[in-house]
């Protein structure tokens, strides 16, 4: 331990001296000592001193860890201080600003590419062009001066060209449809207009990353909707999906218009959108209308809604109407029978649960606790869109409810918003939410900030969950804190031997017992780990992640050493 402390001090002082002398190469070499050995806590005081001396790479390194540890304003300030003269900091600043939704990000990506030839900056500029709808420009820009080794560039060029081709296909179909309509061929016009919805639906996964493409798609949907009610229904769904319900009144109006014009599919669409918003009574009404038009899928949806409300008699009736010989229907009917047996009652629930209705009324009146409870009630309901719950959970999360903040983080993860996901997880973790602490530990591990990860996992272990104890104990064992790790790993080994993490707990518990000289006790967990390690543990980690693999316990090797020591 003393030798390690001396080594850290030697490298740290050498780093500061190199920074003072303007020796960038030497300063970076000593920074690498801290980064590659994962001595982030020990490196921070020296990076701070080197930053004061003007060392650019220390600015960059410290900014990275400030960002990982949640201090984004400090990270931005550090990047900005040297971004003009340091390419990696220009890129780091661009990424941070892009995550914040700040258009200034483009300036720093451009600087990083034009001044320093940073390939990732070029790719980000291309993606920003695509986000503005300039797909051809984006592809041309990325291909300019691209070398054979620029594989990442070709991936994005291929994507943008493919999106452009799909839009061209849609435009061609619409041209044909509108020409047919002009000549009085309404049937052909409607058929071609209906065909555009498939390619447009395929593009929806890109609209969040490239907002101008959503605007372009909206124009195509409007053209198609003018020719067929089927496309009008698709346009309504598009509006609800891509605007996070901001355009809900417009979407609903389109569906009602299609319904009033006689298009039978509109009522089913109204049922779906009301259901996704958690508007149960409205959803049931429109599904019933749809079933009246002969749509058996509506009966299935009604069965699920009634089952969720514990209206078992209604649920059984609707499921049977969906098709009694259907295997899924049979499974649902069996499940209802089991639920009735568990409850020891066959009394159906309230057709319109007054408690839930009252809860929603309080939520809409501004009661944050009621809003969170209402969203929570909807969470497990079949067909609900996670984005529809944000408006119910966000007020409570913003007010400091750690459960609401954690659940909101989960929602943002499901809808592909990693920055918002991690921000809410952090808020929940800082308020003491154990599962959020585990999430923050995982995030720190992804950045190889194992010291920060250990702290988060140790806080998570306060929940008493064996898996949390294993995660904290594992990192302690990896840094050689065997006495600290032992009680955590003992808990994990004893309580989750047959569960997720049990094999890993066995391996690290055996390692710790070996290092503490408790050889006889180490045999059993090491044998259990050695037997199942390749099947249970190795597949969870990438073969290419040499950092993680180099830190991983080797149960067979440990067991061999223990047995040899016992034999002696």
Please give the chain's pLDDT, 568 residues, in tens.
666 788 999 999 999 999 999 999 999 999 999 999 999 999 999 999 999 999 999 999 999 999 999 999 999 999 999 999 999 999 999 999 999 999 999 999 999 999 989 999 999 999 999 999 999 999 999 999 877 667 889 999 999 999 999 999 999 999 999 999 999 999 999 999 989 989 998 998 898 889 999 999 999 999 999 998 888 888 988 888 776 667 778 889 999 999 998 999 999 999 988 888 778 889 999 999 999 999 999 999 999 989 888 889 999 999 999 988 889 999 999 999 998 887 654 444 443 444 677 888 898 899 999 999 988 888 877 667 788 888 899 999 999 999 999 999 999 998 888 999 999 999 999 999 999 999 999 999 999 999 999 999 999 999 989 999 999 999 999 999 999 999 999 999 988 755 667 899 999 999 999 999 999 999 999 999 999 999 999 999 999 999 999 999 999 999 999 999 999 8
Neighbours of 426 (CB within 10 A): 20
- Is residue 422 located within the same domain as residue 489? no
Is there a domain that residue 563 lies in?
Answer: yes
Report the CATH number at residue 84.
1.25.40.10
The domain boundary, picked from 416, 431, 446, lies at 431
- Is residue 338 located within the same domain as residue 478? no
- Is residue 271 located within the same domain as residue 418? no
Q: Say if residues 529 and 562 touch (Cβ distance below 8 Å).
A: no
- Is residue 218 located within the same domain as residue 318? yes
Query: Which of the 8 DSSP states describes residue 552?
Result: S
Is there a domain that residue 374 lies in?
Answer: yes
The CB-based long-range contact list for 318-327 (8 Å cut-off, 24+ gap) reads 321/291, 321/296, 322/296, 322/297, 323/296
Three-state DSSP class for residue 87: helix
Neighbours of 547 (CB within 10 A): 10
The residue segments making up the domain with residue 218 are 211-351
Is there a domain that residue 169 lies in?
Answer: no
Is there a domain that residue 189 lies in?
Answer: no
Nearest CA to 497 out of 542, 463, 529 is that of 529
Query: Which of the 8 DSSP states describes residue 541?
Result: S
- Is residue 96 located within the same domain as residue 73? yes
> How far apart, in whole angstroms, are the C-alpha atoms of residue 189 and residue 275?
32
- Is residue 8 located within the same domain as residue 139? yes
Percentages helix, strand, coil for the chain (3-state, rounded to 5) are 80, 0, 20
The domain boundary, picked from 306, 332, 351, lies at 351
CA angle 288, 293, 296 (to 5 degrees): 70
Is there a domain that residue 172 lies in?
Answer: no
Is there a domain that residue 193 lies in?
Answer: no
- Is residue 482 located within the same domain as residue 545? yes
The domain boundary, picked from 351, 374, 403, lies at 351
- Is residue 565 located within the same domain as residue 447? yes
In this structure, what is the dihedral angle of CA atoms 251, 257, 260, 261, given to the nearest 10 degrees?
-130
- Is residue 383 located within the same domain as residue 476? no
> How far apart, in whole angstroms, are the C-alpha atoms of residue 348 and residue 346?
6
- Is residue 335 located within the same domain as residue 402? no
What is the number of domains present in the chain? 4
- Is residue 141 located within the same domain as residue 220? no
Is there a domain that residue 167 lies in?
Answer: no
């Amino acid at each position: 331990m003393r030798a390690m402390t001396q080594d850290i001090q030697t490298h740290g002082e050498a780093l500061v001296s190199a920074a003072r002398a303007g020796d960038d190469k030497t300063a970076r070499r000593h920074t690498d000592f801290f980064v590659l050995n994962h001595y982030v806590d020990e490196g921070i005081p020296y990076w701070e001193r080197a930053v004061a001396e003007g060392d650019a790479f220390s600015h960059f390194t410290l900014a990275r860890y400030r960002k990982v540890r949640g201090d984004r304003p400090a990270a931005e300030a550090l990047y900005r201080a040297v971004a003009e003269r340091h390419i990696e900091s220009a890129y780091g600043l661009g990424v941070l600003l892009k995550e914040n939704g700040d258009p200034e990000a483009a300036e720093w990506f451009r600087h990083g590419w034009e001044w320093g030839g940073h390939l990732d900056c070029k790719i980000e500029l291309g993606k920003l062009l695509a986000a503005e709808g300039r797909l051809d420009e984006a592809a041309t820009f990325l291909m300019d001066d691209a070398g054979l080794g620029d594989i990442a560039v070709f991936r994005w060029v291929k994507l943008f060209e493919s999106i452009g081709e799909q839009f061209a296909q849609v435009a061609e179909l619409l041209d044909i449809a509108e020409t047919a309509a002009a000549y009085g061929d309404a049937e052909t016009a409607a058929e071609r207009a209906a065909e555009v919805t498939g390619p447009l639906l395929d593009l929806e996964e890109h609209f969040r990353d490239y907002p101008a493409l959503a605007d372009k798609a909206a124009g195509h949907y409007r053209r198609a909707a003018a020719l067929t009610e089927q496309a009008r229904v698709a346009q309504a769904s598009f509006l609800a999906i891509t605007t996070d319900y901001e355009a809900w009144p417009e979407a609903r109006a389109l569906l009602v218009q299609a319904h009033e014009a006689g298009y039978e599919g509109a009522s089913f669409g109204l049922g779906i959108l009301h259901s996704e918003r958690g508007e149960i009574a409205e959803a049931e009404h429109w599904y019933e209308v749809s079933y009246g038009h002969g749509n058996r899928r509506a009966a299935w949806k009604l069965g699920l809604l009634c089952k969720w409300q514990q209206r078992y008699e209604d649920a059984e009736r609707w499921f049977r109407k969906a098709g009694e010989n259907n295997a899924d229907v049979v499974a649902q009917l069996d499940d209802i029978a089991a639920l009735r047996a568990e409850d020891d009652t066959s009394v159906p629930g309230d057709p319109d649960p007054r408690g839930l209705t009252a809860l929603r009324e309080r939520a809409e009146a501004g009661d944050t606790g009621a809003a969170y409870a209402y969203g929570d009630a909807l969470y497990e309901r079949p067909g609900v869109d996670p984005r529809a719950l944000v408006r119910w959970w966000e007020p409570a999360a913003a007010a400091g409810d750690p459960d609401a903040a954690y659940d909101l983080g989960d929602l943002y993860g499901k809808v592909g918003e990693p920055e918002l996901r991690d921000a809410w997880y952090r808020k929940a973790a800082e308020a003491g939410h154990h599962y959020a602490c585990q999430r923050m530990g995982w995030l720190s591990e992804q950045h190889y900030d194992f010291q920060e990860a250990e702290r988060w996992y140790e806080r998570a272990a306060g929940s008493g969950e064996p898996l949390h104890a294993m995660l904290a104990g594992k990192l302690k064992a990896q840094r050689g804190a065997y006495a600290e790790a032992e009680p955590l790993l003992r808990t994990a080994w004893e309580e989750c031997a047959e569960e997720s993490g049990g094999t890993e707990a066995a391996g690290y518990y055996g390692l710790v017992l070996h290092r503490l000289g408790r050889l006889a006790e180490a045999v059993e967990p090491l044998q259990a780990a050695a037997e199942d390690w390749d099947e249970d543990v190795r597949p969870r980690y990438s073969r290419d992640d040499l950092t993680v693999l180099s830190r991983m316990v080797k149960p067979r090797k440990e067991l061999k050493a223990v047995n040899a020591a016992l034999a002696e």
